[in-house]
Amino acid sequence: MMPLLKMRETQLALCIVALIALVGARAPVFVTPASLANLLTDSTLLIMLALAQMLVIVTRGVDLSMASTLALAGMMSAQLASRSPDLPLSVVVLAAVVIGLLLGLVNGYLVGYLELPPIVVTLGTMSVYRGMVFVLSGGAWVSSHQMPADFIAFPLARLFGVTHLVWIAVVVVLAAWYLARHSRFGRDLYAIGNQPSSARYVGIPIARRLLWTYGLSGAMAGLCGYLWVARYAVAYTEIAYGFEFTVIAACVIGGISIAGGCGSVAGAVLGGLFLAVIGNALPVVKVSPFWQSALTGIVILTAVLINARNGKQGGRQILPLHLNRQTGSAA
């Protein structure tokens, strides 16, 4: 029981429950099933993006181009759907994912094979992709009446009483959990993040792994691009502007170390959930929405402070601890 309580993820989950309970005590409407289901639906996009971003951050990288990729894939899928309304929805979604994948692979090639710093590469592609959204759309909006009905209806349609968005997020979470914990690909990413030179010595194909990590991040952004555009039923140049920082913030709150090699799927999910709870709770307890950004900032700073303190008590530095024990037994 105690080790479980000491886990960062458990503490964060308790924080979220406490926060929901606190808000529920002041405004009972917040804890009704409908409101909580709404909260869950609202958090899905952030959670899915945070999971992909987590894999990138674990390799000591960062993907700043995520929001721009989302916007570009979303805009292209919206245009595709509005120009050829007879196309089956699955083709449109697939197109969005493939576009995202290609955009992500560009990042992956530059970071993996050319060994360029990820922050600079994704900063560059971020501007390029965002600019391309404008070029493609000519600055025009694609609004709801131009999109086919099933295109818009899909994310919020319900299966067994739960929205498709939530089902997709569940699948993504399970896939990410399998990938991060049980696949060779995922374990390699942790190895790369913990010690790149050792990873190279044990024969991990670092460049190929990075290529597909960024590709995966792009594909996820592409999927979310479609979901975002369909959910809000509008596509324009500034979709998700600045959202990359929200995604990174969710990862940081979830205890994923920006130094790489450390982070869990549960952390990313809870981090995204935490931010979604704050966003949804503020209007309910009648706090001005202008406070949201400031509160988010305070939460991020608190989270990194707590994580840094946890980190000092152990965790990442395995070797020195081992050494200490050896010298201790010798003396």
Binding site for other proteins (CB under 8 A): 60, 62, 64, 110, 113-117, 119-121, 123-132, 134-135, 139, 196-197, 237, 241-242, 245, 248-249, 252, 257-260, 288, 290-298, 300-301, 304-305, 308, 311-312, 314-317, 320, 323
Smaller CB separation from other proteins, 56 or 248: 248
Min dist. Cβ of residue 112 to other proteins (A): 12
Min dist. Cβ of residue 277 to other proteins (A): 16
Smaller CB separation from other proteins, 89 or 207: 207
Min dist. Cβ of residue 241 to other proteins (A): 8
How many helices (H) and strands (E) are present in the chain, helices listed first? 15, 4
Smaller CB separation from other proteins, 130 or 231: 130
Neighbours of 203 (CB within 10 A): 8
91-96: long-range pairs with CB below 8 Å, 24+: 92/151, 92/226, 93/223, 93/226, 96/222, 96/223, 96/225, 96/226
Smaller CB separation from other proteins, 60 or 164: 60
Min dist. Cβ of residue 71 to other proteins (A): 12
Q: What is the dihedral of CA 186, 192, 194, 200, to 10 degrees?
A: 130
Report the alpha-carbon distance of residue 227 to residue 152 in Å, rounded: 9
**Which amino acid does the sequence have at 56?**
V
Neighbours of 69 (CB within 10 A): 35
Smaller CB separation from other proteins, 125 or 280: 125
Min dist. Cβ of residue 148 to other proteins (A): 28
* Residues whose CB falls within 8 Å of the CB of residue 161, separated by 6 or more in sequence, listed in order: none
Beta strands in the chain (DSSP E): 142-143, 158-159, 162-163, 234-235
Rounded to 5 degrees, φ, ψ at 62 are -155, 145
Do the beta carbons of residue 85 and residue 242 sit within 8 Å? no
* Strand pairing category for 142-143 and 234-235: antiparallel
Report the alpha-carbon distance of residue 62 to residue 59 in Å, rounded: 8
Smaller CB separation from other proteins, 101 or 248: 248
Smaller CB separation from other proteins, 148 or 311: 311
Min dist. Cβ of residue 293 to other proteins (A): 3
The CA distances from residue 28 to 24, 34, 53, 148, 273, in Å, are 5, 12, 34, 38, 19
Min dist. Cβ of residue 314 to other proteins (A): 8
Smaller CB separation from other proteins, 124 or 148: 124
Min dist. Cβ of residue 297 to other proteins (A): 3
**Per the structure block, which two tokens stand in for 225?**
């691009």
